[in-house]
């Protein structure tokens, strides 16, 4: 029987995203507080016929079709790059693979959708190469090291939970989980925002703040307190590129969100609610207005194999 591997990885939201000045390496140093959400990308990897190379299929019905169509299925897809890089690291040829990606995370939305695909692919490849080529399985830290070469958010999508991200976001320090459940409503835009464009706009606006100590965040005891700590240095840049976002943030807070904020480089807005019931109630209002609104819980596991 053909080898089939299933794996998944979570979306992230940056509860705090502090951004410094552009460095010579083309990246901005960041001080980020990541939280993984139970919105997961699911990936299925099947051994392909010899000589067929890598085929990628993308589908999903919880996000707009335009998002699914925007994902490339050729060598520029991050999952394709992950397969090539991982095999190279093991000194092996890239295997023939059929890869199915079930997308749930808004595309180009500031929630690490592409990075979650890469994170899921890394654990799937780790298993596939062990089963098919007898290679030794790499540790989670080794997978995160390879992940950092693929994208700044990939290591966090591997670890999950709640963590600090420093460097360009790829140096992960895991933190204790919060003592309470967080309930989120994620509002996706029809159009995505390019991360480099948002960072470049941030440079033009000069809107960075000093880095603060975020290690004590695990000790916050309520959603209210957590909401008061939330901040995103990229938010003004996202607002200036997509002015409707600031209205949407205001609307979410009027509808009862403790705090609504652009997630990472946007344009998805992450809104924190006191209860799951309240988040669902508001999602119904927004969905009736044609908004793509997804409810989700915080504190999810990182990338993993799924039976």
Catalytic positions: 12, 153
Which phi-psi region, left, alpha or beta, contains residue 138 (left: φ > 0; alpha: ψ -120 to 50)? beta
Task: Supply 192's token pair.
Answer: 């995505």
Q: Build a one-symbol-per-residue string for 195-214: x at contacts with ligand C5P by CB under 6 A, - elsewhere.
A: xx--x---------------
Using CA atoms, how far apart are residues 222 and 229, in angstroms rounded to an integer? 11
Instruction: Give the residue among 234, 48, 240, 236 at the shortest CA–CA distance from 128.
Output: 48
Which phi-psi region, left, alpha or beta, contains residue 193 (left: φ > 0; alpha: ψ -120 to 50)? beta
259 lies in the binding site for ligand C5P (CB under 6 A): no
Which listed range, 25-33, 62-70, 131-139, 226-234, lies at the site for ligand C5P (CB under 6 A)?
25-33
Cβ distance to ligand C5P smaller for residue 147 or 227? 147
Q: Which of 113, 160, 169, 264 binds ligand C5P (CB under 6 A)?
A: 169
Cβ distance to ligand C5P smaller for residue 182 or 232? 232
Smallest distance, ligand C5P to C-beta of residue 290, A: 30
Contacts of ligand C5P in 55-74 (CB under 6 A): none
Contact 211, 218 (CB under 8 A): no
Alpha-carbon dihedral sign for residues 207, 184, 271, 192: positive
Smallest distance, ligand C5P to C-beta of residue 47, A: 29
Q: Give the three-class secondary structure for 251.
A: helix
Cβ distance to ligand C5P smaller for residue 77 or 152? 152
Which residues lie near ligand C5P (CB under 6 A)? 26-28, 30, 151-153, 168-169, 195-196, 199
């Amino acid at each position: 029987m053909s080898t089939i591997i299933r794996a998944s990885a979570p979306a992230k939201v940056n509860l705090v995203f502090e951004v410094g000045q552009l460095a010579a390496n083309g990246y901005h140093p960041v001080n980020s507080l990541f939280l993984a959400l139970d919105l997961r990308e699911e990936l299925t990897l099947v051994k392909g016929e010899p000589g067929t190379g890598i085929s990628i299929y993308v589908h999903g019905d919880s996000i707009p079709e335009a998002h699914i169509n925007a994902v490339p299925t050729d060598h520029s897809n991050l999952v394709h790059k992950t397969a090539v890089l991982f095999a190279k690291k093991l000194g092996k040829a890239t295997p023939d693979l059929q890869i199915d990606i079930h997308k749930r995370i808004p595309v180009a939305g500031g929630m690490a959708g592409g990075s979650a695909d890469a994170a899921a692919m890394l654990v799937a490849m780790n298993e596939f190469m062990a089963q098919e080529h007898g290679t030794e399985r790499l540790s989670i830290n080794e997978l995160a090291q390879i992940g950092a070469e693929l994208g700044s958010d990939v290591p966090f999508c591997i670890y999950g939970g709640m963590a600090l991200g420093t460097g360009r976001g790829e140096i992960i320090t895991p933190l204790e989980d919060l003592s309470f459940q967080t309930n989120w409503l994620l509002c996706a835009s029809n159009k995505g925002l390019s991360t480099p464009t948002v960072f470049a706009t941030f440079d033009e606006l000069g809107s960075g703040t000093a880095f603060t100590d975020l290690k004590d965040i695990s000790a916050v005891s309520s959603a209210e307190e957590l909401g008061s700590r939330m901040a995103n240095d990229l938010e003004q840049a996202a607002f200036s590129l997509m002015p409707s976002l600031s209205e949407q943030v205001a609307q979410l807070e009027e509808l009862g969100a403790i705090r609504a904020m652009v997630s990472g480089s946007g344009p998805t807005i992450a809104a924190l609610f006191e209860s799951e019931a309240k988040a669902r109630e508001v999602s119904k209002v927004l969905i009736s207005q044609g908004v793509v609104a997804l409810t989700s819980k915080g504190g999810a596991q990182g990338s993993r194999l799924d039976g």
